[in-house]
Structure 1
């Protein structure tokens, strides 16, 4: 693998973000969810206007994993009111770490996670937290390996399907 770069996404990157977001979410979940629910989620969650607004939010941070000018993954972080659940104002939420399937096992997710740790340190977060689908065993293992522990659960709606997410956190010192 050539040099992987982690770059901060801007509103100019909305179409790149939309493309990698739809691709990686589909690769991860299409085989275990209905086509109708997937289509609805992808259209709504990765709509150009929605992504542009999220990219413009000063409490959210997006980073692209770029290899040979190709976007192969991305990271979304939230602070303050941008967090998807009401957590402490000094917490950092990892909302998404997604990597194209062909790059699984090539340390791309670990590089994106390292960027999350860097941002947590910069903003002096007391802890990082996230929600991960209980049946996404690969992701649960990844976060556990990186020191996260489950502290609760919440419901994530994918179309009309209610799914249970593990809420996990890592206390920072």
Structure 2
């Protein structure tokens, strides 16, 4: 079953904060110290920070709805908004999250396909993302779509230094 994808704007700020916190917590709570996780969530998803991200013309958010319910979201970056590679011809998938009740329905794939279509329409040479080295399911998912590891960087959850693998797929 396919969901509907809509651009997310400033009017969606509180809903974006809610789904961001919910999906990150659901995805990573079991593997992280509760205090570190809470510190990360407070900082990363503060309303002021999300508002700045929404106002940045090089960042775009999209909500995914299934049966009129918010099922997930996607954040894409280009230009100077990219967190690592900052390739003028690249597109970064910074966040792709599906709510727990909607997992295993092909919605992550739908968001990824949407990102590919947008990248191709904009003639981006590559699409890339960071994925936690311990998240084996996500790594396998991205590898199945042709992403290859090209580097790594530190990612902090509170005070806990973790490693995100940088994965890239060349499009042209």
Q: What TM bracket, shorter-length normalisation?
A: over 0.9
Contact 1:16 1:71 (C-alpha < 8 Å) held by counterparts: no
1:35 aligns with 2:7: no
1:14-71 per-position Cα deviation (integer Å, ceiling 9, x unaligned): 1111111111100000011011111111111111111111111110011111122221
Q: Provide the residue aligned with 1:68 in structure 2.
A: 67
In 1: Cα distance, 2:130 partner to 2:88 partner: 17
1:86-113 per-position Cα deviation (integer Å, ceiling 9, x unaligned): 4311110000110012211101101111
In 1: Cα distance, 2:58 partner to 2:111 partner: 18
Q: Provide the residue aligned with 1:14 in structure 2.
A: 13
| Deviation of 1:139 (Å) | 0.8
Q: 5+ residue gaps in structure 2? A: none
In 2: Cα distance, 1:94 partner to 1:78 partner: 7
Pairwise CA RMSD? 1.1
1:97-156 per-position Cα deviation (integer Å, ceiling 9, x unaligned): 100122111011011111111210122110011110000111111100111000111110
Contact 1:120 1:128 (C-alpha < 8 Å) held by counterparts: yes
Moved over 3 A (4+): none
Q: Provide the residue aligned with 1:99 in structure 2.
A: 98
Q: Provide the residue aligned with 2:152 in structure 1.
A: 153
In 1: Cα distance, 2:114 partner to 2:59 partner: 14
In 1: Cα distance, 2:11 partner to 2:57 partner: 15
In 2: Cα distance, 1:170 partner to 1:77 partner: 15
SS in 1 for 2:53: helix
Q: Provide the residue aligned with 2:135 in structure 1.
A: 136
Q: Provide the residue aligned with 1:118 in structure 2.
A: 117
Q: 5+ residue gaps in structure 1? A: none
